Amino acid sequence: MSFAKSEDYFITLSIESGNTNGNGVKKNKFKARQYYEIAAKGGDPCAKYNLAIMYFNGEGGLTKDLAKGIKLEIEAANQGVALAQYYLGMSYYEGTYFEQNHNYARELFEFAAAQN
């Protein structure tokens, strides 16, 4: 059984959500980051996206690291996370982290929009 289908995976997701948002526990970005890392290593695309945001902002005890954030955002986008696709599209549209490419940005926006 893969980690993504195991009981441990669902427990990890529940704990990371609680620590990130303060649902049922005191908000703790450091602990949330630890659980995102576990879930991301297990292949969870949403954990990869959330960990990317933490790298972009230097949260949860992480030093700001755009390269790691971008790598994780690309992985999440490739795995179908609509927010990752949208923000990656914005980066291509504006030429923020990549050479400006409106055609690729449009593709990413369309992928994100198809998921509502």
Half-sphere exposure at residue 108, Cβ-oriented, CA atoms within 13 angstroms? 23
Lowest average pLDDT, out of 21-30, 52-61, 83-92, 97-106, goes to 21-30
**75, part of any domain:** no
Helices (H), the chain: 7-21, 29-41, 45-57, 66-78, 82-94, 102-113
Q: Give the per-residue pLDDT at 30.
A: 93
45 and 94 co-located in one domain? no
Number of domains present in the structure of the chain: 2
Residue-averaged pLDDT of the chain: 86
**Closest to 55 in 3D by CA, of 77, 72, 79:** 72
List Cα–Cα distances, 63 to 25, 37, 84, 90, 98, in angstroms.
25, 15, 21, 23, 21
Cβ atoms of 84 and 76 within 8 Å: the answer is: yes
What pLDDT is attached to residue 15? 53
| pTM check: above 0.85 | no
Domain that holds residue 35: 1-69
pLDDT at 27: 80
- Residue 56 and residue 109 in one domain: no
